[in-house]
Chain A
Amino acid sequence: MSQALYTNAQQHRLSRVIPDLIHHRELLRDMVWKELRARYRNAMMGFLWAVLQPVLMMLILTFVFGYLLPEMMGARLGSGGHSYASHLLCGLVPWQFLAVALACGTNSLLESQDLIKKVYFPREIIPIAAVLNCLVNLAIGFVTLLVVIAALEGPSTLGVGVLYFPLIFAVQFVLVIGIVLLLSALNVYYRDVSYMIEVVLAFGFYATPILYPLPKSLGALPVPEAWKPWFYQLYLANPMANLIPAYRQALLENQVPDAALLWRPAVLAVVMLVVGAWLFRRQAPTFADHL
């Protein structure tokens, strides 16, 4: 028998987040499981869609940016001796996880409003479950990525670098959780947030080195010379602009990712997590009044 003693004063406390989640771990697992069962029960090809989606994206983007565009523009996107397809997929898979997780996570509270209005349980479970759901797609994407690299670059390309993947992904995951907590809470009050996310993600797709490698500087930018470092720093402030090159280093170059690429996203991830969790906790007790 659980001895849940709660008063309204305690519900606000940030320190309660971890114990609450541990206490309700089975519920969290059930919520994730529920979504997965429901999602793939009626889709005939089920998990196959999760494979097809990044592969098809990769094919069309490879076609456009790897062949069509270079031929027409007379320029070739340098990718350090790797095929453009594996280069692209290496950025695409982590980005897709971010995009889907943010979109689902931000709307998750609204979608579960019936539950929130009726039952008390740690509200964090809902957005976290939404993010965890996206891990399935990521796992499928990751396997696809390994297969593509092995096929196009030769199996020898994959080495110990693969082991760095979880490290980089951990940073990204914490970051996503933090952002989702923050945005899903805000989304309860301002429904604009979910639209905003769509725009930001579309913008971010091009502001992140997915289609192209990480630029060394922004030399070609038509702005005064003195501004260029600032713009470049702004560009690098996007955590995905650091993480995706790190993924490539690990998977394609079989190298330890540069610390320079990791520390900034890591700090940001921790800050986002604390801020997100704090704001979420602060607002969670009254979500039911606003849904």
Chain B
Amino acid sequence: MHLIEVENVSKIYRPRRGPSMLLARGGFVNLFRRRRPEEVRALEDVSFTVDAGEAVGIIGANGSGKSTLLKLLAGVTVPTTGRVAVRGRVASLLELGAGFHPLLTGRENVYLNAGILGMRRHEIDAVFDAIVAFSGIEEFIDNPVNTYSSGMFVRLGFAVAAHTNPDIFLVDEVLSVGDEEFQRKCRQRIGELRGQGKTIVFVSHDLGTVNALCNRVVLLSKGRMMARGTPQATIEYYLRQIGREAGIHTFSSGQTEAVFCHGRVSLFHRQREVTVPTGLRMNVLCMGQWHPSGSADWLIEERGPDGCRARGRMSRLPVTLIWDLRLENDRLRWAIAVECEQDTTTPLINADVLLPTAYTRWTYGESLGDFPDIIPGDQNWTTVVTVDWNCRETAALPGPGSDLPPVLTRLEAHSPYLCLLWSNSDYVMGARALQALAQFPDSDQTLEAGRHELMTLHLDLGQSEATARERAEALKAERTIQIGPVAAQFERGGVSFTYDGKALTHTVHLHTQALIAQMWNMSRDLQWSSVERTGDRLEVSGESSRLPFRQHWEIEAAEGGVAFRVWLEAKEPLEVQEYNVSIGLKPEYARWETCHESGAFPPFDPTVKEWRHLNRSYAPGSYVRARGPALPTIALETANDDLPFRMTAINTGFEQHTRVLQAIYAPEQAQWLHFDPGRHLWFDGFVKIAPDTAPDSTGAPPRE
């Protein structure tokens, strides 16, 4: 039995729409006038059914009749002709907080609102606690709702609607309200409702969410039903066929076709959709709320066969997004500017490129990696790469067996606050997200009135995978010194070492740490400039975002390894408790030795989480060395006797599974190191790597 039946439904808004005075237009007077405004056909001859347990999405451009259809289903109005039959209780999430009385408390409003949605008092009693818990405003529940923030208001409204236990849920774009955390909660709740076999009718602009949540999609255009079917097929039809409408423009070049649709861009390559249905989009964060580009009002100012220029006026912000899209030789150029009507506070603006999970690997600057799988428990977006403010080139590579093209992206930043970042989306969206983030620091969050060029993203779909790899390799080579079989590569505050292509270092690699104001400052957390290379010498500096200092590293080829020199550049007087230079080594390293003693690295103990020093003598020394079976010997040595380091060997906790050689610079008890503003030599030494010569190192692996 169908839960919802819509049969040949038409809805015509008569010319006399809205309220009128007797003598005004549309009042009695019009009876005597010939001229009548035209009637509006919001829906024409729409028929479909929804069975129990289905999730049906309704998509279409603005003004295509989506909301009218939802109103008909909610029973708020009736069709002009045709029949709408609904069996079971309906709750529509389009009425968040409808009927909330501002003077009443949250508690009273919950009862009232739930009553309006058709619940009995005893039913509300049963779920009241769950509603309050879901809304997360326990402590305010007995305050009048006019003291609530708009976010709290909506949260409480959603909480009530989501707990009314109806048979049919009507959802209209609610997912675009509230903060990200709350949106996630909403999606999760809708997912749960699906899981409980509830019927859901979902109206949205967000094709991605429709695709993820719905198992059938109805496409409306100008009040007519254009298609219905699986989400993938219908959404694709929508993007490709209805391209001539106001907010949509299709353009192509080479094998690539792009569809601009109300603040989203979908890319197709050889007839295959490269992006997920949400496609390319933007978000502006303002007052804790995300404003997606898809909710803006878009106008295409200029269209051409190879691109378009569009302006999107944000609906709840005095901000207009200006996109200039050009396709040339399978390359999309996406230039983004924002125009503010007045000074606008925004800490964050981002542009996302959302790709399907068929893309399994990424390159980011010179690094390469695999995307972790997205599992059903993933409710948050997770960052896949470590942010590198200098990274301007990145790529997504398709997994084996996929015929999608690699997506090479280059960011041209017009703002100093931009960075690129790869993330995995939550499970519902199921996408690899390349995010170009403009993160404005606290002091500079206000965008002044006027136009701001933000960034230009170049997406290249025409390159082979090899090109993407070569680019990454070339960038990598730029940061690598080769000394015979030894290669030392700088990578974001660390130097990794390989011998004949075999990795010797692990996790943290060669790095520095400094204990300042009770906090360990890791070199990996500094913001590193791009590497300056002169022959076999690399120079790079990293700036702390929290404390007034920089580190300057010099890495240079030397006899049997690399010379490593660290300078501290303090801008203000700096008190340091202690600092060290460490190398994280593969767990295969079995033995260690210093000037004073030697020993074996014990096996890792699963119960141990902290780092454990293995040596007993802490007298200053000049080297610490590690050996392992079939591994070259690696040593951390100091070159400058003015800087007395204590050389130690360390086992990390079980999770990190790393052997560490560490040179510690620590003053006597209770005495701090004081650095005046200026440049100080911090570490001067070598990392030496030699083929294993010691006879005992291979023969005596540590006892397990």
Residue numbers of A with Cβ under 8 A of B are: 1-9, 11-12, 26-27, 30-31, 34, 37-38, 41-42, 110, 112, 114-121, 188-192, 285-291
Q: Give which listed residue, A9, A114, A189, A285, contacts B99 with CB less than 8 A.
A: A114
The interface residues of chain B lying within 8 Å CB-to-CB of A30 are 111-112, 115
- Determine the residue in chain B with the shortest Cβ distance to A191: B19
In the complex, the answer to whether A38 meets B104 with C-beta atoms within 8 Å is: yes
28 contacts between A and B (CB under 8 A): A1-B167, A2-B118, A4-B86, A4-B90, A7-B85, A8-B83, A11-B78, A26-B115, A26-B120, A34-B101, A34-B104, A37-B108, A42-B103, A112-B99, A118-B76, A118-B95, A119-B92, A119-B95, A120-B75, A188-B19, A190-B20, A190-B22, A191-B20, A285-B77, A286-B77, A286-B78, A288-B71, A290-B19
In the complex, the answer to whether B13 meets A289 with C-beta atoms within 8 Å is: yes
B79 within 8 A of A: yes
Interface residues of B in 80-138 (CB under 8 A from A): 82-90, 92, 94-95, 98-99, 101, 103-104, 108, 111-112, 115-118, 120-121
What distance in Å separates the Cβ of A165 from its nearest Cβ neighbour in chain B?
A: 32
Interface-central residue, A7, A38, A114, by most chain B CB under 10 Å: A7
In the complex, the answer to whether A189 meets B20 with C-beta atoms within 8 Å is: yes
The complex places the Cα of A70 from the Cα of B20 at a distance, in Å, of 47
The complex places the Cα of A34 from the Cα of B18 at a distance, in Å, of 28
- Determine the residue in chain B with the shortest Cβ distance to A120: B75
What distance in Å separates the Cβ of A86 from its nearest Cβ neighbour in chain B?
A: 37
The complex places the Cα of A180 from the Cα of B17 at a distance, in Å, of 23
In the complex, the answer to whether A1 meets B95 with C-beta atoms within 8 Å is: no
- Determine the residue in chain B with the shortest Cβ distance to A7: B85
- Determine the residue in chain B with the shortest Cβ distance to A3: B88
Binding site of A, secondary structure by majority: helix, strand, loop or mixed? helix
The interface residues of chain A lying within 8 Å CB-to-CB of B22 are 190, 192
B372 within 8 A of A: no
The complex places the Cα of A156 from the Cα of B144 at a distance, in Å, of 48
In the complex, the answer to whether B103 meets A41 with C-beta atoms within 8 Å is: yes
The 9 closest A-B pairs by CB, nearest first: A120-B75, A118-B95, A8-B78, A285-B78, A7-B85, A38-B103, A118-B98, A288-B77, A30-B115
What distance in Å separates the Cβ of B116 from its nearest Cβ neighbour in chain A?
A: 6
Interface-central residue, A118, A191, A291, by most chain B CB under 10 Å: A118
The complex places the Cα of A37 from the Cα of B107 at a distance, in Å, of 13
In the complex, the answer to whether A115 meets B78 with C-beta atoms within 8 Å is: no
The interface residues of chain A lying within 8 Å CB-to-CB of B88 are 3-5
Q: How many residues from B make CB contacts under 8 Å with A?
A: 45
The complex places the Cα of A2 from the Cα of B165 at a distance, in Å, of 11
The complex places the Cα of A190 from the Cα of B99 at a distance, in Å, of 24
B691 within 8 A of A: no
Q: A5-B86, A6-B75, A8-B78 are in contact. Are A119 and B99 (CB under 8 A)?
A: yes
Q: Give which listed residue, A11, A119, A286, contacts B74 with CB less than 8 A.
A: A119
B31 within 8 A of A: no
Interface-central residue, B89, B90, B98, by most chain A CB under 10 Å: B98
A-B contacts counted at CB < 8 A amount to 115
Q: Mark B316-353, 1 if CB is under 8 A from A, else 0.
A: 00000000000000000000000000000000000000
- Determine the residue in chain A with the shortest Cβ distance to B9: A8
The interface residues of chain B lying within 8 Å CB-to-CB of A285 are 77-78
In the complex, the answer to whether A119 meets B19 with C-beta atoms within 8 Å is: no
The complex places the Cα of A42 from the Cα of B144 at a distance, in Å, of 11
In the complex, the answer to whether B17 meets A26 with C-beta atoms within 8 Å is: no
B21 within 8 A of A: yes
In the complex, the answer to whether B94 meets A6 with C-beta atoms within 8 Å is: no
The interface residues of chain B lying within 8 Å CB-to-CB of A5 are 85-88
The interface residues of chain A lying within 8 Å CB-to-CB of B369 are none
What distance in Å separates the Cβ of B170 from its nearest Cβ neighbour in chain A?
A: 10
B27 within 8 A of A: yes
In the complex, the answer to whether A4 meets B112 with C-beta atoms within 8 Å is: no
In the complex, the answer to whether A120 meets B90 with C-beta atoms within 8 Å is: yes
What distance in Å separates the Cβ of B126 from its nearest Cβ neighbour in chain A?
A: 13
The interface residues of chain B lying within 8 Å CB-to-CB of A3 are 87-88
What distance in Å separates the Cβ of B702 from its nearest Cβ neighbour in chain A?
A: 67
The interface residues of chain A lying within 8 Å CB-to-CB of B13 are 289
- Determine the residue in chain A with the shortest Cβ distance to B80: A286
The complex places the Cα of A76 from the Cα of B85 at a distance, in Å, of 67
- Determine the residue in chain B with the shortest Cβ distance to A2: B89
In the complex, the answer to whether B84 meets A189 with C-beta atoms within 8 Å is: no
The interface residues of chain B lying within 8 Å CB-to-CB of A11 are 75, 78
- Determine the residue in chain A with the shortest Cβ distance to B76: A288
Other contacts beyond A31-B112, A38-B103: 16, CB < 8 A: A5-B85, A5-B88, A6-B85, A7-B84, A8-B72, A27-B115, A34-B104, A34-B108, A41-B144, A42-B103, A188-B19, A190-B27, A192-B21, A192-B22, A287-B77, A289-B13
In the complex, the answer to whether B116 meets A121 with C-beta atoms within 8 Å is: yes
The complex places the Cα of A1 from the Cα of B120 at a distance, in Å, of 9
The complex places the Cα of A26 from the Cα of B118 at a distance, in Å, of 9
The interface residues of chain B lying within 8 Å CB-to-CB of A117 are 76
Q: Give which listed residue, B17, B75, B86, B111, contacts A290 with CB less than 8 A.
A: B17
Q: Give which listed residue, A1, A41, A118, A191, contacts B89 with CB less than 8 A.
A: A1
- Determine the residue in chain A with the shortest Cβ distance to B84: A8
Q: A2-B89, A115-B98, A119-B92 are in contact. Are A289 and B103 (CB under 8 A)?
A: no
- Determine the residue in chain A with the shortest Cβ distance to B91: A119
What distance in Å separates the Cβ of A240 from its nearest Cβ neighbour in chain B?
A: 26
What distance in Å separates the Cβ of A36 from its nearest Cβ neighbour in chain B?
A: 11
The interface residues of chain A lying within 8 Å CB-to-CB of B115 are 26-27, 30
In the complex, the answer to whether B18 meets A37 with C-beta atoms within 8 Å is: no
What distance in Å separates the Cβ of A132 from its nearest Cβ neighbour in chain B?
A: 15
The interface residues of chain A lying within 8 Å CB-to-CB of B111 are 30
The interface residues of chain A lying within 8 Å CB-to-CB of B17 are 289-290
Q: A9-B83, A190-B20, A290-B18 are in contact. Are A119 and B117 (CB under 8 A)?
A: yes
The interface residues of chain B lying within 8 Å CB-to-CB of A112 are 99
What distance in Å separates the Cβ of B263 from its nearest Cβ neighbour in chain A?
A: 25
What distance in Å separates the Cβ of B157 from its nearest Cβ neighbour in chain A?
A: 11
- Determine the residue in chain A with the shortest Cβ distance to B81: A8
The interface residues of chain A lying within 8 Å CB-to-CB of B98 are 114-115, 118-119
What distance in Å separates the Cβ of A287 from its nearest Cβ neighbour in chain B?
A: 8
What distance in Å separates the Cβ of A184 from its nearest Cβ neighbour in chain B?
A: 13
The complex places the Cα of A81 from the Cα of B411 at a distance, in Å, of 97
The complex places the Cα of A38 from the Cα of B18 at a distance, in Å, of 29
What distance in Å separates the Cβ of B24 from its nearest Cβ neighbour in chain A?
A: 9
In the complex, the answer to whether A38 meets B78 with C-beta atoms within 8 Å is: no
Q: Give which listed residue, B76, B101, B167, contacts A120 with CB less than 8 A.
A: B76
Interface residues of B in 1-53 (CB under 8 A from A): 13, 17-22, 27
The interface residues of chain A lying within 8 Å CB-to-CB of B103 are 37-38, 41-42
What distance in Å separates the Cβ of B326 from its nearest Cβ neighbour in chain A?
A: 43
What distance in Å separates the Cβ of A33 from its nearest Cβ neighbour in chain B?
A: 8
The complex places the Cα of A95 from the Cα of B87 at a distance, in Å, of 45
In the complex, the answer to whether B21 meets A191 with C-beta atoms within 8 Å is: yes
The complex places the Cα of A60 from the Cα of B402 at a distance, in Å, of 90
In the complex, the answer to whether B20 meets A8 with C-beta atoms within 8 Å is: no
- Determine the residue in chain B with the shortest Cβ distance to A285: B78
What distance in Å separates the Cβ of A111 from its nearest Cβ neighbour in chain B?
A: 11
The complex places the Cα of A291 from the Cα of B90 at a distance, in Å, of 22
In the complex, the answer to whether B75 meets A116 with C-beta atoms within 8 Å is: no
The complex places the Cα of A200 from the Cα of B86 at a distance, in Å, of 43
Q: Give which listed residue, B76, B94, B108, B116, contacts A27 with CB less than 8 A.
A: B116
- Determine the residue in chain B with the shortest Cβ distance to A192: B22
- Determine the residue in chain A with the shortest Cβ distance to B95: A118
